[in-house]
Amino acid sequence: MIAISISYSIHQMIRNELDKKRRKAMDELERRKAELYRRFPRLGEIEDEIHRAGLRYNKAILMGEVPAESAAEELSGKIEALTAERERILTSNGYPADHLAPVFECSKCNDTGIISSPGGKGDTLCICYRQLLLDHLYDNSNLGISRNEGFASFNTELYPDIVDEERYGIKKSPRRQIMGILENCRQFTGKFSDPETRNLLFCGPTGTGKTFMAGCIAMELMKAGHTVLYFTAPSLFNTIYEYRYNSGNNEEWDPSAYKNILETDLLIIDDLGTESPSATRYAELLNILDTRISNDMRRPCKTIIATNIDLRNLFEYYDERIVSRITGNFDIFRFAGDDIRNLRR
C-alpha cells in the first residue's frame, strides 16, 4: 500500500511532474534555437540585442541616468522592433512566427500548475494541476472498482419501477428507493467536512449497486482533493495482520498502510462479513471505527461500509460494541433490485 499523505508527498510528486514538463519544453526550445541560429545567424544576434537592451536600460534606471517611464517606453519600442524582425525572418523561411517560443503542454499556466489572478488577488490551481491531483489520488486509493465520473455515472433507470415487497423486501419500488439513496449520498459529499455528517452503511443483495455508489462518492471527493482508500473486508484485515506481524519483527516494515487506514479522509470497507470471523478481527474493526470517529471531530475522516449481509443478520454476526458504533454513527441505506451485473450482460 502506498502512503497517501496529501499534505506533502502527492503535491511534491505533482510539482516534480510539472517541473519535468517545463524542462522538456525549454530543452526543446533550446534545440530549435541551436538549429535555427546556425542557419540564420541574425536570429542569434537579435536575441543577444534584446538581452543587452534589457540590461542596459535596467542599469540606466538603477544609476538614475534616465526616468523609469521613458526608459521603459524606449525599451519596449526597441524590443518590438527586434521581435518584428525575428518574426519576418521566421515566416519568410516557412516557420511559424512563434517558432522560437516555448511550447508547454498546458497553455493556461505554462506547466507551472498555477494561474495568477488579475489584479494580484491571489493565485489559483490550474485545471491541469487539479487533474494530476485527481489522477494521483485515484492511483493511491486502492480502488478495485472501475473508474467513473461520479454521480453522473449512476443510472437509476437500471432499477425496477415496480412495488413488490415480497421480492425486494421494501415497501416502495427499487427505483424510488435508489433515488432517495442517491440524493442522500449527494448530501454526504456536499457536507463531507462537517463533523455532524454521519458515516454510511450500505446493505442489500449482491449486484444492487452498493460498491458502484461508493465508487461514485469516492470520485466526487477525489475531485475535491480528498484522499480515499478502498478495501474489501478480507484485504483490510490482511493488511492489519501484516502490520501487526511485521511491525515488531521487521525494522524495515513501512507502517504507512495501517496509518492510512486510520487517517485517510474516506475509508471504504466493502463486503463486510466475508472476512474470517475472530475476536481479534472484531477488536481491530472496533479500533478502526473508534479512531476514525474520534479523528472526524477535528478533520474529515469518514467511513463507508458495504455488506451483502441482511441488516438483522449483520447485527447478529458482530458483537454489541460494533453494532453500537454503527447504529450510533452511521446512516443505514438498504439497496434493492435485480442484479445489475446480469442486466448489463
Q: Taking all residues of the chain, what is their mean pLDDT, rounded to a whole number?
A: 87
pLDDT of residue 4: 43
- Cα 57 from chain centre: 47
Return left, alpha or beta for 197; rule: phi > 0 is left, psi -120 to 50 is alpha, else beta.
beta
Q: Are strands 114-116 and 123-125 parallel, antiparallel or unpaired?
A: antiparallel
* Amino acid letter, 99: H
* Amino acid letter, 163: V
Rg (CA), the chain: 29
Q: Are strands 266-270 and 199-203 parallel, antiparallel or unpaired?
A: unpaired
- 136 vs 92, 97, 111, 183, 205, CA distance in Å? 45, 37, 17, 28, 32
Which of the pair, 345 or 158, is modelled with greater confidence?
A: 158
* Cβ neighbours for 276, distance < 8 A, ≥ 6 positions apart: 234, 237
pLDDT of 168-183, one tens digit each? 999 999 999 999 999 9
Quote the pTM value. Answer: 0.74
Burial code (b: 16+ CB inside 10 Å, e: under 16) for 111-127 equals bbbebeeeeeeeeeebe
pLDDT of 65-81, one tens digit each? 666 666 677 778 888 99
d(CA 127, CA 108): 9
pLDDT of 71-122, one tens digit each? 677 778 888 999 999 999 999 999 999 999 999 999 889 999 998 876 656 6
pLDDT of residue 251: 58
Give the domain ranges of the chain: 6-125, 141-344
Assigned CATH class of 141-344: alpha beta
Give the three-state DSSP class for 186: helix
pLDDT of residue 131: 83
